[in-house]
Amino acid sequence: MAKLVMKMFACGSTSKKFTSKSKTAEKNNEQGFHKKYCVKQVIGNGGFGTVYAGYRRSDEMPVAIKFAKKDKTMGWMKDDDGQSLPREVYYLQRLRHIDGIVHLLDHYDEKSSSFPDAKSTRRSSSGSGPVSRGSYVIVMERPTNSQDLFDYITQHGSLQEDEARGFLRQIVETLVAMHAEGVVHRDVKDENVLVDLQTGRVRLIDFGSATELKDTDYEDFDGTRVYSPPEWMLHRQYRALPATVWSLGVLLYDMVCGDIPFTNDADIIKATPKLPSRLSEGVVNLIRRLLSVQPEDRPSLEQILDDPWMRPSRETSLQSVCSVDSGIADCVADDSVSEIAPRTNNSTVSQDCIMLTVSDVVDEPVRNTEDLTLSDGPVDSLGALSL
């Protein structure tokens, strides 16, 4: 995910004076962070940094604190004041008024090396050992008694349709609100959905792949391979809205069947998932629509909300925001997808995805590059925040 640092320039005779001031600012910035927040145990780590549990000292509010490695940054965004920010920070600030996303509390550009890293924290409770050479620190809310949807499904197995409907509706409504602001998430998946275990409310997390919404083709893919659409596999391009809808189809299947429908590129291109006979005709029809091979055959987000299967629990939505033939094979007449089975790990990929043509399709397994190691337990699942 994109983690960026602010550029600083110094030249000529003013460089020493600038450096002195900047070092003082860095020290004050770091002291301000530690004065405001307490950093506790590691709850997740990956290629772009480490996420810690923590709390705000003033009121003991639980927070998730991410230390993003500066040498792993991936892009810059300019805010309204012209300040360069990490992509994730930029979009969390821009979308802060939307209830269905995790909220940013603070961010710090830390250039010193006195912040902990995952290795030192795991090795010593005192935090001694090697430390990072500077981080961009992102502080986000950490709802108590919450769990990401991947772990939730792993623990409970396939969800009842009413529960899956409620989750899907909230996610779609949040995406509608984001798209109205001109932002597309680009990595909608179970690991990036946070479930409040008490209220059933869900939030989207991880905005490191977010970008500006446009009507033309995207030729870069920064999401998760097993959630990517056939057009990306075949043509190395996609459009935001149909690709988002495809990922929702994968997610809906995941919720009602207990695992994702596709585990390799060939299966994604064929788009013929097995659907157990226990599923209602309504959810089967919606999955077919969402996983239409042709992007133009997929419904819009608004059409998803108006789908007959989505209507029964319309009034239960926590938020409010202002059937075609898909070519997918018929529903399998047996319960070939188990209720609780070993879960397929998601893998995050970028532009190194292999270009395929129809003649190249073979049943090769997806590369499984597992970025994130999480501790067990509902709260620790917050380690998935924005890695």
| CA-only gyration radius of the chain, Å | 22
Query: Sign of dihedral through CA atoms 117, 119, 120, 126?
Result: positive
| φ and ψ of 377, to 5 deg | 105, 150
Dihedral of CA atoms 368, 371, 373, 377 in degrees, nearest 10, equals -90
**CA–CA separation, 76 vs 85, rounded Å?**
6
**Contact by Cβ (8 Å): 171, 251:** yes
For residue 370, the Cα-to-chain-centroid distance in whole angstroms is 14
**CA–CA separation, 319 vs 333, rounded Å?**
36
Two structure tokens written together for 83: 């300040």
**Contact by Cβ (8 Å): 297, 326:** yes
Two structure tokens written together for 118: 């995952």
| Contacts (Cβ under 8 Å, ≥6 apart) of 304 | 168, 172, 245, 248, 286, 290, 310
Catalytic residue among 187, 190, 206, 371: 187
CA distances to 191, 246, 256, 265, 335 from 365, rounded to whole Å, are 21, 20, 23, 8, 24
Closest of 79, 65, 205 to residue 137, by C-alpha: 65
**CA–CA separation, 16 vs 13, rounded Å?**
7
79 is catalytic: no
Q: Which letter, b or e, does each residue of 246-282 get, where b requires 16 or more Cβ atoms within 10 Å of its Cβ? A: bbbbbbbbbbbbbbbbbbbbbbbbbbbbebbeebeeb
For the annotated catalytic residues, the residue numbers are: 187
